[in-house]
Each structure stands twice: as C-alpha cells, then as structure tokens.
Structure 1
Amino acid sequence: MHAPTASVCSLTVLAWRLGALPLPDLWWRYIELGGNCRQLPVAAYLAGTATWPDPEHNVLAHALNEALWEVGCPSLAPYRGHVDLEPEPPAQLPLDLPVKRPERP
C-alpha cells in the first residue's frame, strides 16, 4: 500500500522562508530526522513541482518547525495524515490482582 502524495502547501513554503534556512541546511536537518529524499527532490517539492508522500512531508515539516522554534516562532508547517503527537498515557496496573501475604518463618 502506497502512502498518499500531495503537493507542498503554502504554509510549508512560508515556514521555510520564515526560518531562513538555506536549502542545504534544511536538507541536512531533514536527513537527520529520518528523511529519505535527496536535496534536488526537496528543492522540487518546495518549488511546487513534485508531490511527496505524507511521511516524507511530515519529516520535512518537523525540520522546518524546529528551525522556527529556534528563532522564537511557533510551528507553522502542518503535518499530514494521522500524526499522534500526544504522549501515550502511562500504563495502568490491574487493581484486582490477588495479594499473597508472606508466610511467617
């Protein structure tokens, strides 16, 4: 099954411009976060001439949002698809386990 693909949205491009990251710097950040595309496809995507699957877009969006955080701006590049950014609740221990008292020696 293939992930859905789409063109870049204007908020993603705006996040790139506001973060003022040169393309090579953005590409390195994207790669460090697990992105799989080379620099030329990143440029094509940001120029609006290529479509990307949601997972690749989300890695790029996160790299852009991190750059914005570093200059004191909020996240702007949107994530696509189902992205659960909320922490998982802590595991609950069952409360109905039998408790065995220790035997006296």
Structure 2
Amino acid sequence: MYPSTPDLSLADGLAASGLSHEELWLCQISVGGVAGRLETEAYVLGVLVPDLHQHNVIAQALNEHLLERGEPCSVGYRNTVKIR
C-alpha cells in the first residue's frame, strides 16, 4: 500500500497513519511538540514550512503511531547537520 522507505512526507505519513489533523496535533504535543493545532495542519499541508525541530517532532509522532499499528512505512526526518 505505502512504500517501506524512510522518506514519506508529513502529508503521506498522515495519510498512512489514518490520524486526523487534530489527532496528529495531540500526538505531536505528547512527544514534545509546541505547534498549535492549525500550525500542525498547515505544516502537513505544506502551507507553512516547519523548522527542523518541529518537522522532526511531527515525524516522530507519526512514526510512533505507525509503529504501534505495525505499518512498514515511516516519515523521514530532516538532518540538522549539513555534510559537504
């Protein structure tokens, strides 16, 4: 159904998770996120671009939910270190 590569976008991860935007918002708060409900939705929809930390928090929330459901796919994290 979904690729088993570690590079799903936030939007694809949300679709794979079956979570609503509000459920994702609550999940990202539970793993340390600080974005509001509408901010979280805007990040996933691509209306706003999250900073590296917030992207990774949302990815972590999605990945934890996918892991709990036994899904083989995961959302990619953004690296904070650039390699030249």
Q: Under TM normalisation by the shorter chain, which class is it?
A: 0.7 to 0.9
TM-score, scaled relative to structure 1: 0.65
Q: Structure 1 residues 69, 10: closer, same or farther in 2, change over 3 A?
A: closer
Structure 2 counterpart of 1:13, one-letter code: A
**Structure with greater strand share of residues:** 1
Distance 1:82 1:75, change over 3 A: farther
Question: Counterpart of 2:50 in 1: which secondary structure?
Answer: strand
Higher relative contact order (CA 8 A, sep 6+): 2
List structure 1 runs of 4+ shifted beyond 4 angstroms: none
* Contact 1:27–1:42 under 8 Å retained in 2: yes
Richer in helix (by share): 2
Deviations 1:32-58 (A, max 9, x none): 111011000111111111011000110
TM-score by length of 2: 0.79
Counterpart of 1:20 in structure 2 is 18
Higher Cα Rg, which structure: 1
Unaligned runs of 5+ in 2: 1-6
